[in-house]
A and B are shown apart, each in its own frame.
Chain A
C-alpha cells in the first residue's frame, strides 16, 4: 500500500517533475544558502552597491579604485543568495470533498501539493504546510528534507475533508504566523466570501510574501453538467436547493463566471499568480505547464 508521497505521486511523475524549478519572483528571507535572492548582503559574486567603510569591516571588501579616485573608503557589497521557504496552504473544508469523477478536489489539492513540494525540495528549498478548514488544523514548519515532505503527505493522507470553510480568517492567521518573507501557495476552492478572501490574500502581499493561488474546482461545478433535476445538498452547510440544472444553467454560468472573475481581477492587481486547477487535469501536466510559464515570465 503506497504511503506518504508515493500515495500522491508515482515514480514517473516524480521523474518528470525533478527537472523543474519553482523560482520566487521576489527576494526571500531564508536561513540557508540557496539559489534565491536574499535580503542579506553577502558573499555571492553579484555586486550590489557601495557602503562607507566602518570599523570592523573586512578590509578585503574595500574598493581600492574608489579610494584612489575619491580618497574615501568604501566597501563593495554583494547580494546574498538564500534558500526558499515555501508554505503550502491547503483547504480541507467539506466542499473540497466534492467529486464528479473519481478524484475529489481535496485529493487533487494533495497531489498538487505533493508535486510542488517535490519540486521545491529538489531545488534544495524548504517546504512547510498549513492545513485548514474553519481554522488551522495542522501546521508544519518549512524544512528541507524529503522525510519532512513524506510526513506532510502522510498528514494530508490521514485527513478527510469536512466542516465549514473559513478561508479568510484562516489566511489572516497564517499571514500573522509567517513573519519572514516566503512563498505562500494557497490551494483551495475558495468557496467563501470573495471580498474577505481577497483581503486575506492582500495581507500576505503586504508582508511581501510571494503568493500563488491555485483555485481548485471540479468540472461539474464549473459547467453544471448534471443531467437531471435533483435536490442539491450543500456539502458544508447541508442546505438544499431543488432545481433542474438544464433550466438554470445559463444563469449559473453567469454567476459562477462572475465569482471567478472577481478572484482573477483581484489577484492580478495584487500580483498574485492565480491559476484555475480543474480536477480532471493530469497533475504532472498541470504543474509542468505552470512552472514553465513562471520561469518564462519571472
Chain B
C-alpha cells in the first residue's frame, strides 16, 4: 500500500510539461538563415526524419520521466505493509519470539559471542514495541520452554526475563517452538509477528520439510529427531497476515572441533588390567590440524595430533592405564576453538576389583558351580556368595552383577519379582533346573527364554549327545576354544523340553541336532540364560565337562558388563538416573559440576524405585557422597549433533517456512531495517533517486550522442590544394 509523506509536492508533477514546452519554444524561435540551396537539407530531413523523431521522442520521454520521478521522490513515497496502520497511527501488535538457546549460540564471533548478539537482538525486538503491544517468548531447545508463556503487555518483565536467560547446553528444534508460538498468537486479532532468533545452523530446521521428515524415518543412522512425527509444519494453514522475521546471527563459515564419541574395550575393566579407549572427533569448517588429550581424574594420560576435515570423523586411540578400583572421572579435550563449550567430553570409567556373584541353591545343588566360580580359593576375581532359596528373602540384589539359580525353584512371588527387576536393571540371571521344580513352577515368570513343558529322559543308547555351538558370535562363547578335529559331547540323562521359544530368544548351545541346551534372552537391560540340565551330575555330566568352567566364568564376566553401562549421558531437564547410577536412591544427594545440588525425585512403581534427576543441564561430572567420599556417579555432556555446525542458506530457511511474509536478516541492523520496512513502510526515495540518476546519465548520453560533432565532409573528401577530391575511394557508397 502506498503512502506519500509529502503529498503537496505532487503539484510539482506539473513541471513534467516543461521539456515539451521548451522543445516547442525552441522550434518556434528558430531564426531565418539564408542558404545557397535547401534541396539537400530537405532530402536529409526526409531520410532522417524517422530517426530524428525517435530520438526526440526518447529525449522528451526521458526528460519528462526525470521530472516526474524527481517530483515523486520529493513526495516521499512509502510502501506500507500494514493496511490501516498508516492512517490511524500505530496498530496494536502481538509478537512471539522464538529464541534458539542451543549451545551452538555460544560460538565466539569476533569480540562477542553469537549469544550476546542474540540477547541484544531479542532485547531490541522488545524495546521496539509500543505500549499495548504484547509479547511472548519461547526458548527453542530440544524441547520448548516458555520464557514468557502468554502474550503479555508487560514489556519490562519480558526484558528482565531475557536479561536473566543464559545460553543453553542442549541442541535445539525450532519447529515445536514455532508451532507453540503460533498457537499463542492464534487468538490474537492484532497485527502479528513471529521472530526467530537463531544462529543459522541447519539442525534446528529439521522437521519443516515433509521430505526431510520422511528421509529421517527411513535412514537407519540418521540423528535422532525428537517429536518429528508429532510436530508438523503446514505453511498453508498459517494465517498469511502473520509476518515472520528470521534473524541468523551466526557466522557464514563456522568452524568447530569436538570429541563426540568414546568407547572402552573391554567394557569391563578390572583393577589390575589396562584397556583401550577409542575417541571419535568430528570437525566442521575448513580443514586443519589439532590435538586431543585424554585425562583421568584431572591428570593427562595421553595426547594425540589430529588432521581435521569436515565431515570425516577422526579416531584417536589411548591406553587406559591400570587404575584403582572405583569410579574415575575422565574426559577427552580438544584444542580451544570458537565454540569452546563442546571441547570436552566427560565420561566415567568404572574399575572393578571383584565381580560380585550370587549363587542361590543348596550346598549339594551348587557344589560344582561354587567350585567352578572359585576354583583357586580366595584369590579369585569373582566374589561369590551362596545362599539357599529360603535365605534369598529380602536380600538386596543390586550389588550383584550375576545371579545363579541352581534348582532354586519354586520361590516366593516377591523373590521372583525382585529377580525380574534385577534383570530389567541390567543383571544376568543364569538358571539351572533341578528336581525340585515342576514345569508349572516356571509358568509364573515372564522373563524366561522359553517355558519348560516337561523333563525328558532319553533312551540309554541316546544319552550321548554331541554338543553344538549354535550361536558362535554370542559373548558367552567368545572365549571358547575347541581343538581342531575334536567332537565335544555330553552324556545327558535328563533335560528340559521346551514350549516354543519366546521372542528374542537365542539358542546358544544344543545337544544333538535340535535339543537346546542353553537359551539366552535379553530382558530390559539384562539377560536371562537358561540351561536344560541341572548344575549337578544328576541330570548330565555337563558340570564335569571341560566346557562348564569357562562357560560359568564367561557368564560372570558377561553379567558384569551386560548392562552395557553408558559412559555418559546427555544434558536433560529430566533424567531417570537409576539405570546410569544405580548407587543413587531416594536419600542420595547429587552434586553438579558447579557444586550445585541437583534435585532428585523418586517414582515408585511395580516394586521398583526410579530416581529422576532434574535439570541436568550443566556438562561435567556429577558426584554423590557414597560412604564418606564424594564419588563420581554421572558424566553429563551436551548432545553432539549440535556441534556439527552447518549453516542453512537464508533462502532455504524462507523456503522451509513457506509463509507469505518472511524476512531473513543476518544481523541486528538488518532485522531492525526489516522491522522498520514492515511496520512503518519502506521508503522509496532512495531507489527513486537512484533511478533519477540513472535516467540522468542516459539523458546525457543521448543528448551528447545527438550533438556530438561529426567528421566534416570536407575532411572525409580529402580535398587537396589543387581541388582534387581524393576521399571518395575511402568513403562508403553514399545512401540514396
A234 to B734 alpha-carbon distance, docked (Å): 24
- B722 touching A289, Cβ below 8 Å: yes
The 8 A CB mask of A267-298 against B (1 = contact, 0 = none) is: 00000001111100100011001101100000
- A98 touching B34, Cβ below 8 Å: yes
- B26 touching A229, Cβ below 8 Å: yes
Which residue on chain B has the smallest CB distance to residue A262?
B734
- A236 touching B37, Cβ below 8 Å: yes
The 8 A CB mask of B612-653 against A (1 = contact, 0 = none) is: 000000000000000000000000000000000000000000
- A98 touching B712, Cβ below 8 Å: no
A224 to B30 alpha-carbon distance, docked (Å): 16
- B27 touching A241, Cβ below 8 Å: no
Chain B residues lying within 8 Å of A232, measured Cβ to Cβ, are 33-35, 38, 41
A residues 235-266 near B (Cβ < 8 Å) are 235-237, 239-244, 246-261, 264
- A235 touching B48, Cβ below 8 Å: no
Given A252-B40, A254-B734: A247 and B48 within 8 A (CB)?
A: yes
Given A191-B37, A191-B39, A235-B37: A292 and B44 within 8 A (CB)?
A: no
Shortest Cβ distance from residue A275 to the other chain B in the assembled complex, whole angstroms: 3
Shortest Cβ distance from residue B304 to the other chain A in the assembled complex, whole angstroms: 81
Chain A residues lying within 8 Å of B26, measured Cβ to Cβ, are 229
Q: Is there a chain A Cβ closer than 8 Å to B721's Cβ?
A: yes
- A233 touching B37, Cβ below 8 Å: no
- A251 touching B723, Cβ below 8 Å: no
Shortest Cβ distance from residue A25 to the other chain B in the assembled complex, whole angstroms: 15
Interface 9-residue window, one of B277-285, B342-350, B724-732: B724-732
Q: Is there a chain A Cβ closer than 8 Å to B43's Cβ?
A: yes
- A242 touching B30, Cβ below 8 Å: yes
A98 to B712 alpha-carbon distance, docked (Å): 19
Q: Which of A96, A257, A286 contacts B722 (CB 8 A)?
A: A286
Q: Is there a chain B Cβ closer than 8 Å to A214's Cβ?
A: yes
Shortest Cβ distance from residue B48 to the other chain A in the assembled complex, whole angstroms: 4
- B37 touching A247, Cβ below 8 Å: no
A residues 172-202 near B (Cβ < 8 Å) are 189, 191
Chain B residues lying within 8 Å of A223, measured Cβ to Cβ, are 712-714
Chain B residues lying within 8 Å of A253, measured Cβ to Cβ, are 710, 713, 716
- A231 touching B30, Cβ below 8 Å: yes
- A241 touching B38, Cβ below 8 Å: yes
Q: Is there a chain A Cβ closer than 8 Å to B594's Cβ?
A: no
A19 to B22 alpha-carbon distance, docked (Å): 60
Q: Which of B30, B40, B45, B722 contacts A256 (CB 8 A)?
A: B40
Q: Is there a chain B Cβ closer than 8 Å to A225's Cβ?
A: yes
Closest 9 CB pairs of A and B: A275-B723, A251-B44, A252-B44, A289-B721, A289-B722, A98-B36, A223-B712, A95-B36, A248-B44
A95 to B36 alpha-carbon distance, docked (Å): 4
Chain B residues lying within 8 Å of A239, measured Cβ to Cβ, are 38
Q: What are 7 A-B contacts with C-beta separation under 8 Å?
A: A223-B714, A228-B30, A242-B27, A255-B47, A256-B40, A261-B734, A276-B717
- B35 touching A234, Cβ below 8 Å: yes
Q: Which of B37, B38, B40, B723 contacts A277 (CB 8 A)?
A: B723
Size of the B side of the interface (Cβ < 8 Å), in residues, is: 42
- B712 touching A258, Cβ below 8 Å: no
- The SS class assigned to the B binding surface is mixed
Chain B residues lying within 8 Å of A235, measured Cβ to Cβ, are 34-37
Q: Is there a chain A Cβ closer than 8 Å to B241's Cβ?
A: no
A224 to B45 alpha-carbon distance, docked (Å): 13
Q: Is there a chain B Cβ closer than 8 Å to A77's Cβ?
A: no
Which residue on chain A has the smallest CB distance to residue B712?
A223
Which residue on chain B has the smallest CB distance to residue A277?
B723
Chain B residues lying within 8 Å of A219, measured Cβ to Cβ, are 712, 714
- B722 touching A292, Cβ below 8 Å: yes
Q: Is there a chain A Cβ closer than 8 Å to B32's Cβ?
A: yes
Residues of chain A having any CB pair with chain B under 8 Å: 95-96, 98, 105, 189, 191, 214-215, 218-219, 221-226, 228-237, 239-244, 246-261, 264, 274-278, 281, 285-286, 289-290, 292-293
B residues 3-48 near A (Cβ < 8 Å) are 26-27, 30-45, 47-48
Chain B residues lying within 8 Å of A243, measured Cβ to Cβ, are 41, 44-45
Q: Which of A229, A233, A261 contacts B728 (CB 8 A)?
A: A261
- A251 touching B43, Cβ below 8 Å: yes
A36 to B707 alpha-carbon distance, docked (Å): 55
A276 to B720 alpha-carbon distance, docked (Å): 9
Chain B residues lying within 8 Å of A236, measured Cβ to Cβ, are 37
Which residue on chain A has the smallest CB distance to residue B56?
A247
Which residue on chain B has the smallest CB distance to residue A287?
B722
Q: Which of B48, B706, B713, B719 contacts A257 (CB 8 A)?
A: B713
Chain B residues lying within 8 Å of A277, measured Cβ to Cβ, are 723
Chain A residues lying within 8 Å of B52, measured Cβ to Cβ, are 244, 247-248
A218 to B714 alpha-carbon distance, docked (Å): 10
Chain A residues lying within 8 Å of B38, measured Cβ to Cβ, are 232-234, 237, 239-241
Which residue on chain A has the smallest CB distance to residue B37?
A191
Shortest Cβ distance from residue A232 to the other chain B in the assembled complex, whole angstroms: 4
Chain A residues lying within 8 Å of B725, measured Cβ to Cβ, are 260, 264, 274, 276
Given A218-B36, A229-B27, A232-B38: A255 and B734 within 8 A (CB)?
A: yes
Which residue on chain A has the smallest CB distance to residue B42?
A241
- B41 touching A241, Cβ below 8 Å: yes
A276 to B721 alpha-carbon distance, docked (Å): 10
Q: Is there a chain A Cβ closer than 8 Å to B735's Cβ?
A: yes
Q: Is there a chain A Cβ closer than 8 Å to B55's Cβ?
A: yes
Shortest Cβ distance from residue B453 to the other chain A in the assembled complex, whole angstroms: 114
A233 to B32 alpha-carbon distance, docked (Å): 7
Chain A residues lying within 8 Å of B45, measured Cβ to Cβ, are 241, 243, 248, 251
Shortest Cβ distance from residue A259 to the other chain B in the assembled complex, whole angstroms: 7
- B722 touching A246, Cβ below 8 Å: no
A40 to B91 alpha-carbon distance, docked (Å): 118
The 8 A CB mask of B419-449 against A (1 = contact, 0 = none) is: 0000000000000000000000000000000
Q: Is there a chain A Cβ closer than 8 Å to B607's Cβ?
A: no
Q: Which of A244, A248, A276 contacts B723 (CB 8 A)?
A: A276
- A250 touching B48, Cβ below 8 Å: yes
- B40 touching A255, Cβ below 8 Å: yes
A251 to B36 alpha-carbon distance, docked (Å): 18
B residues 447-483 near A (Cβ < 8 Å) are none
- A248 touching B41, Cβ below 8 Å: yes
Starting from the known contacts A95-B37, A241-B41, A242-B30, 10 additional A-B residue pairs (CB-CB under 8 Å) come to: A96-B36, A98-B34, A224-B41, A230-B30, A230-B31, A230-B33, A231-B32, A234-B38, A251-B48, A258-B735
Which residue on chain A has the smallest CB distance to residue B735?
A254
Q: Which of A225, A258, A293 contacts B734 (CB 8 A)?
A: A258
A281 to B721 alpha-carbon distance, docked (Å): 8
Shortest Cβ distance from residue A263 to the other chain B in the assembled complex, whole angstroms: 10
Chain B residues lying within 8 Å of A95, measured Cβ to Cβ, are 36-37
